[in-house]
A and B are shown apart, each in its own frame.
Chain A
Amino acid sequence: GDSVTQTEGQVALSEEDFLTIHCNYSASGYPTLFWYVQYPGEGPQLLFRASRDKEKGSSRGFEATYDKGTTSFHLRKASVQESDSAVYYCALSEGADRLTFGKGTQLIIQP
């Protein structure tokens, strides 16, 4: 079945550092890829999505590019802020009424 593998556990950075959270997927077809963010005490919310090879999704300074060749959708941000501290989930959908999520990556930004 479909699966998503992302950077495990926690990523700890200082403000203004460059962020990369890796996401690789396995799917039989041509999925749509998503990044969701979950702040403390809240439910996950959509950051952005991409549905075609080489399409770039972006929001709030975060971006990721759909790469069908390497089956990847890595999340990047050039300069993180303390307010970016959250859990980030990579997910995919192959058009059915459901998403498959990765295990989540906790981002901790130290001031």
Chain B
Amino acid sequence: GGIITQTPKFLIGQEGQKLTLKCQQNFNHDTMYWYRQDSGKGLRLIYYSITENDLQKGDLSEGYDASREKKSSFSLTVTSAQKNEMAVFLCASSIAGQISGNTLYFGEGSRLIVV
């Protein structure tokens, strides 16, 4: 089995600050994702990456940057934190190709708190 590790579990920052969340996976999966989870709004895709150095925008990419430094890691940066961005951010991974046949594995999430 494998695991997805998200750090930090809680990230507290000030309005306007640039904040970065990190994600590591040891499944050796090709594709990695960042989702934002808001109560009552479900999971919305921010960015995903199908291989090292690849980046694809999701539905909610404005205000975020992402970086796939190597196959096992995928980081997400909030470029200027706002109070309405307080949410849980979920990292996930899957084998490349047709996701229909492949399971998405999630980390436990990182909670962003903006003060």
Contact = CB atoms under 8 A, between A and B. Distances in A.
Contacts of A26: none
B43 A97 contact: no
B108 A41 contact: yes
Contacts of B105: 43, 45
B42 A45 contact: no
Contacts of B48: 97-98
Interface residues of A, number: 25
Interface string B62-105: 00000000000000000000000000001010101111110111
B99 A103 contact: no
B106 A51 contact: no
Given A97-B50, A99-B99, A103-B42, 6 more contacts: A42-B108, A43-B109, A45-B105, A97-B56, A103-B40, A104-B43
Interface of A: 8-9, 31-32, 36, 41-46, 49, 51, 89, 93-99, 101-104
* 8 closest Cβ pairs, A-B complex: A43-B106, A32-B100, A103-B42, A101-B43, A46-B103, A101-B42, A93-B99, A104-B42
Interface of B: 4, 31, 33, 35, 40-45, 48, 50, 56, 58, 90, 92, 94, 96-101, 103-109
